[in-house]
Amino acid sequence: MIKTLFHILNTVFLVLYLYPGSIIGYVIYGNLLKQPQITSDFIVSSNHVYAFALLSFFALGSYYGNKKNLITGYLFFISVFLEISHLFIPNRGFQYSDLFGNIIGVLILLLLFNLISYWRKK
């Protein structure tokens, strides 16, 4: 069940990140150019931290045991690839705060899963 949710969420991320405009902004505000904001940003984009923490939760929950290195590599790759792709997609813009938000979202959940794994071994 968690693997299925991960694959669905991963597909949704690909669509939302690669679409030339904000689908969620269009649904909420009727404007493809307006991005909804869950909480205000600090140094990094909080929306991106939340999004990649959620994706990482389902990814690590699905593949942490037997494919930990593969899924960790994938999460870092997709977090960088999706943000760099905004350099080439119309109506989207590359931002370092978004890139670092993606990476921090992955790092937080990876650290959490590693701590839980360490405590279970004791």
What is the tens place of the pLDDT at every residue in 17-40? Answer: 899 887 877 788 887 777 776 777
In the predicted structure, residue 5 carries a pLDDT above the cut 90: yes
Number of neighbours of residue 55 by Cβ within 10 angstroms? 22
Nearest in space to 60 (alpha carbons), one of 121, 111, 7, 110: 110
Q: What pLDDT score does 98 carry?
A: 93
Nearest in space to 111 (alpha carbons), one of 70, 58, 66, 53: 53
Q: How confident is the model at residue 1 (pLDDT cuts 50, 70, 90)?
A: confident
Q: Residues 100-105: what's their mean pLDDT?
A: 96
Q: State the Cα–Cα distance between residues 57 and 53, nearest whole angstrom.
A: 6
User: How many domains does the chain contain in total?
Assistant: 1
Q: State the Cα–Cα distance between residues 45 and 99, nearest whole angstrom.
A: 8
Regarding pTM above 0.95, the answer is no
Q: What pLDDT score does 32 carry?
A: 73
Nearest in space to 109 (alpha carbons), one of 89, 79, 83, 87: 79
Q: Which domain holds residue 58?
A: 2-121
Q: pLDDT for 34-90, tens place per residue?
A: 777 677 777 888 889 999 999 999 999 998 888 989 999 999 999 999 999 999 998
Q: How many CA atoms lie within 13 A of 25 on its CB side?
A: 15
Q: State the Cα–Cα distance between residues 96 and 72, nearest whole angstrom.
A: 21
| End-to-end Cα, the chain, rounded Å | 28
Q: How many CA atoms lie within 13 A of 64 on its CB side?
A: 17
Q: For residue 77, what is the enclosing H or E element?
A: helix 68-84
Report which of residues 37 and 118 the model is more confident about.
Answer: 118
Report which of residues 26 and 16 the model is more confident about.
Answer: 16
